[in-house]
Amino acid sequence: MGSRLKLFIPLLLFAILALFLFRGLGLDPAEMPSALIDQPLPEFSLPELGGASNLSRADVIGQVGLLNVWATWCVACRVEHPYLLELAGQGVPIFGLNYKDDDRGASEWLVELGNPYELNIVDREGTLGLDLGVYGAPETYLLDAQGVIRFRHVGIVDQNVWATILQPLYQSLQAEMPVQ
């Protein structure tokens, strides 16, 4: 009888394999955790879009906020844009990192489609992008009040991503903030 049961071992192995493969179907290989999680936002000194002076790390930290990597050449950014406007309307601070883009095109884009950003860092050469480990656009970083990167989302931020991933983190980070 025992040897009969052993005949089911391959079936069992297959079932385990199938379980892993099924799990794999739901995973997105592009969703990689950033190497900079729980690391401070790197220092930088880059021009502001439409501004005269340079921006530095101090200009984007001090509150819980989003750092959104975008560019006019990025098609998905255009899809994401209306939702960023909505978030900004709800009072979420969003900082833009205009990544390897052309200034004039970027300014026109903001005039034409609306501006959800508190300010925009111009990263023409992608140097800050490199320090952040950006590998495409759009990417969105969640910063805490001390300027530490707490989460990175690769791809479009929409209602679903915000409600299920970003908003809970955002709210818990805000709760951490000392009352002034």
Partner 1 sequence: MIALRQLLFAVLFLHAGFSLALIETYEFSSPELEARYQMLSEELRCPKCQNQTIEDSNAPIAQDLRKLLHQQLEQGASDEEVLEYMVARYGEFVRYRPRFGGTTMLLWMAPVLLLLAGVGVLMLTLRRPSGVSHKKPTELSAEEQARLDALLAQDETGKNS
Amino acid at 119: L
Beta carbon of residue 105, minimum distance to partner 1 (angstroms, whole number) = 16
- Is 140 in contact with 67 (CB distance < 8 Å)? yes
Beta carbon of residue 22, minimum distance to partner 1 (angstroms, whole number) = 20
**Closer CB to partner 1, 36 or 169, in the complex:** 36
Taking CA atoms, 63 is separated from 29, 66, 126, 173, in Å, by 31, 10, 25, 10
**Closer CB to partner 1, 50 or 133, in the complex:** 133
Beta carbon of residue 31, minimum distance to partner 1 (angstroms, whole number) = 11
**Closer CB to partner 1, 32 or 79, in the complex:** 32
Which spans of this chain sit near partner 1 (rule: CB under 8 A)? 29-30, 32-36, 100, 126, 130-136
Report residue 3 as tokens: 């040897």
- Is 87 in contact with 162 (CB distance < 8 Å)? yes
Beta carbon of residue 82, minimum distance to partner 1 (angstroms, whole number) = 25
Burial string for 135-148 (b: 16+ CB within 10 Å, else e) reads eebbbbbbbbeebb
Q: 38 — alpha (psi -120 to 50), left (phi > 0) or beta?
A: left
**Closer CB to partner 1, 50 or 147, in the complex:** 147
